[in-house]
Amino acid sequence: MADVSPSKSLIKGVIKLTLFLGIGFAVLFILNKVLAAPTEDGYRFFPVIGSRVWVWVIAQLHLNFAAFVLGVPIFAVSMEFIGWRRNDERLDRIAYDFTKLFTLAYTLTAAVGTILLISLPVLYPKFIDHLMKILGPTWWVYVVVMYVETLVCYYYFYSWKQMKGNKKGKHVALGGLLNIMGMTMLLITSAWVGYMTTPGGVSDTGELINRWHAIKTYMWIPLSLHRLVANVVFGAGIAAAYAAYRFITAENDEQRAYYDWMGYTSAMISIGFSLILPGVGYMLGVEIYTFNEQMGIQLMGGFFAWLWVMQAILIGAILMFVNYYLWISLNKMPGGERYFKYVKFLFIVNLLSYAVWLTPHSIALSLEEARRMGAYHPVLGSLGVMASKNTAVVVSYMATFLSFTIFKISNKEPVVSWAKLGHAIRAFVIVGSTVAAIAIGIYSYMVTSAVRVKILSPIQFGIFFLSIIILFVLDSMMYKGAKIIGEPKWGKMPERSQYALIGITVTFTWLMAMMGYMRSGGRQFWHVYGIMKDTSPDAYLPTHGYAAVVSSIVTVIFFALIGLLFWSIMKLEKASEKGGAKT
C-alpha cells in the first residue's frame, strides 16, 4: 500500500478531497431543488429520527474521526523524530504504523464530513446562513487548510520509505507542517463551536459588529486546548485498540511481541496526556462561568450534574483498566513478581477513590427514600461534593502513576550508592503528597467555595504534578545504568489484557459522546446562545437516558467503522505481502 509514488499520492489526495467536496456541493444543490422549501422559521425535517438526532450522530462521528486524525500525528511525528535522533528502527516502525492508521482514516473522516456538510445547510438553512454571515471567511480558510493538510498527509505517508537517511530531517519537518495544519483546523472548528456557545462580536439581534471578537470568544482557546489534549488521548487510545486487535489476531510470536509493545506505548501516551485533561477542563469551566454563570451552574450542578457522575464512572473504569493492564504486565517483567505485594494496596486505594468519585450529590430517590434522607444524605452529601471528588481524583491518579512506576522499575536493580536513600525519598514523596492532598481536601470543606475553587483545588493538582515530576527525576537518576534483571518478555501477555486496552478506548469514545452532548446541551434552546433561538420542535433537552442511548449508538457505529478500517489495513498489508512488497 505504500508503493504508490509520493507524486501520485498527491494527485490521489487532491482527487479524493475534490470528489468529496464536489459530491457534497452537488448533492446539496440537488436536495435544495428537489426538497420542499424550509419552514418559515428555517427548518427541514429528517425522516423518522428527526433532524437533531441525525445531525447529532453525524457530527459526533465526524468529531471522533477528526479527533483521531488530528491527535495521532502529534505523537507519530514525535516518535519519528526521536527514532531519527536515536537511530531507533523500532520507533520509526511504530511511527510509520501510526501514520498508516491516520492516513487511511482520512477517507472515512472526509466521507462523514461530507454527510455533515450536506446535512446542516439542508436541515438548518437559516442557522447556517447566520453562521456563514458571521464566520463565513473562516469556512473558506478551513477548506484551503483542509486541502493543504490532506496533501501534506498523503505526501508524508507515501514518501516515508523514499525519505530515509539524510532526507529524514525533511520528512520530520513535513510531519511538523502536518501538525500545524491540523492545529489550524482545530482552532477554526473550535471558533465555530465557541461562537455558538459563548458568542461575542455581534449585536443582540445577531448583526455582526466585529468578526475577530466573534472568533475570539470565551470558549475558543480553552476549548481548543481541551480538544488538542483530548485528541492525543483519544488517538493514542485508538492506536492501542488497533495494537490489541492485531495482538489478538497475530499469527506468530514476533507479531505478538511488536503489537504488545505498540499497545503498551500507545496506552501510556494516552494515559500520560490524560493527566493534563482535568487541568484544561477546569480552565474551560472557568471560562464558561465567566461568560455566563447560569450556563456554568446548569452544566456543573444543575440539569447536567448527572453526566458528571457518568463521567466519574467512566473515567474510574478507565483508570481501573489502565492499572489492571499495568499489573498484568508485571507478569512479563523478570523481577516483576517482587512488586505484586504492592498491588493489593494500590487496588484498595483505587477502589476507595473510585467509590468517592462516583458518589452523586443529586440522587434519584423514591419518595420514601427522600423522606428518610432529608435534603442531603449525611454521608453521601459530604462525599458527593467537589472537595472530596478532587481529592479522590488526585489520589487515584497518584496510585495509577505508581502502578506505572513499579512496572517500569520492576526488572531493574539500582546500582547507585544512595539507592536506600532514594527509596526513602520516594516513599516520603508518595506518602507526603497523598497526605497533603487529603488534608487539603478535608480543609476544603471549611472554606468558601471561591477559596476552594481558585486556590485549594489548583494546589492539590499542583502537588500531584510536582510529586510525579520529582518521582520521575528521582527514578531517572536512581536507575541510570541500573542492573537489568532481564528484558521484558514482550508478547507474553494474556489475551484479556488486550481487552482492557480495547475497554479503555471504547470507554473514552463513549465518554466523548456524552461530554459532547453536554457541551452542546449547555446552549439549551439556542442555536447561538442568547442570540439565535432554536424554534424547531427539537428545542428541548432530551432526557439523560435518551442522550445516553444516542451516545451509545454513535459509539457502536464508530467502532463498526473503526473495525472496517483495521480490517482494510490488514487486507491491504496481506495484498502487499503477496505482491512482494512489504509495507
For the chain, what is the largest distance between any 2 Cα atoms, rounded to a whole number of angstroms? 82
Cβ 535 to another protein shortest distance, Å = 16
Q: Does 354 bind another protein (CB under 8 A)?
A: yes
User: Which amino acid is it at 257?
Assistant: A
Q: Which of 60, 159, 197, 298 binds another protein (CB under 8 A)?
A: 298
CA pair distance 444, 128, nearest whole angstrom: 46
Among 379, 481, 495, 582, binds another protein (CB under 8 A): 379
What is the smallest separation between the CB atom of 385 and another protein, expressed in angstroms?
A: 6
Q: Which CB sits closer to another protein, 12 or 492?
A: 492
Half-sphere exposure in the Cβ direction for 537 (13 Å, CA): 9
Nearer to another protein, 32 or 524 (CB): 524
- Which residue stretch of 296-304, 396-404, 420-428, 462-470 sits at the interface with another protein (rule: CB under 8 A)? 296-304
How many chain residues interact with another protein (CB under 8 A)?
A: 67
How wide is the angle at C-alpha 329 spanned by C-alphas 327 and 332, nearest 5°?
A: 135
- Could you say which of 324, 401, 464, 490 contacts another protein (CB under 8 A)? 324
| Cβ distance to another protein smaller for residue 118 or 330 | 330
Buried b (16+ CB within 10 A) or exposed e, 174-193: bbbbbbebbbbbbbbbbbbb
* Residue 369 touches another protein, criterion: CB under 8 A: yes
The residues, any chain, with a CB within 8 Å of residue 395's CB and separated by 6 or more, are 349, 353, 434, 437, 438
From candidates 165, 378, 481, 580, binder to another protein by CB under 8 A: 378
Near another protein by CB under 8 A, which window of 121-129, 214-222, 446-454, 510-518?
A: 446-454
Residue in 252, 448, 481, 580 binding another protein, rule: CB under 8 A: 448
Distance CA 200, CA 181 (A): 26
> Would you count residue 341 as binding another protein (CB under 8 A)?
no
Stretch that binds another protein, among 9-17, 128-136, 252-260, 344-352 (CB under 8 A): 344-352
The yes or no reply on residue 458 touching another protein (CB under 8 A) is no
Distances (CA, A) of 411 to 71, 76, 331, 494: 32, 27, 11, 19
**CB distance 277 to 67 below 8 Å:** no
DSSP class of 482: P
* Interface residue with another protein, options 494, 537, 563, 579 (CB under 8 A): 494
Beta bridge partners of 413: 483
Told to check if 64 binds another protein by CB under 8 A, we report no
Q: Which is nearer to another protein, 383 or 437 (CB)?
A: 383
The three-point CA angle 394-400-401 to 5° equals: 90
Site for another protein contains 355 (CB under 8 A): yes
Task: Give the three-class secondary structure for 246.
Answer: helix
Do the Cβ atoms of 241 and 377 come closer than 8 Å?
no
Is 343 a binding residue for another protein by CB under 8 A? The answer is yes
Nearer to another protein among residue 25 and residue 526 (C-beta): 526
Question: Whose Cβ is closer to another protein: residue 214's or residue 330's?
Answer: 330
Q: Can you say whether the dihedral through the CA atoms of 552, 553, 554, 558 is positive or negative? A: positive
Taking CB under 8 A as the binding criterion, the range among 24-32, 189-197, 218-226, 441-449 that sits at the site for another protein is: 441-449
Candidate residues 162, 210, 294, 552; the one interacting with another protein per rule CB under 8 A:
294
- Touching another protein, residues 522-581 (CB under 8 A): 524, 540-541, 544
245 CB-near residues (< 8 Å, 6+ apart)? 498, 502, 566
Q: How many Cα atoms within 13 Å fall on the side-chain side of residue 434?
A: 19
Contacts of 521 (CB under 8 A, 6+ apart): 303, 304, 541, 547
Positive or negative torsion for Cα 62, 68, 71, 72? negative
Burial of 535 (0-12, 13-18, 19+ CB in 10 A): middle
Options 34, 37, 446, 560; binder of another protein; rule CB under 8 A = 446
* Residue number, 276 or 313, with CB nearest to another protein: 313
Report the residue number, 545 or 580, with the smaller CB distance to another protein: 545
Instruction: State CA 425 to chain mean position distance.
Output: 34
Residue number with CB closer to another protein (451 or 575): 451
Which parts of this chain interact with another protein (CB under 8 A)? 292-295, 297-298, 301-303, 305-306, 313, 316-317, 320-321, 323-324, 327-328, 331, 340, 343-344, 347, 350-351, 354-355, 358-382, 385, 387, 445-446, 448-450, 494, 496, 524, 540-541, 544
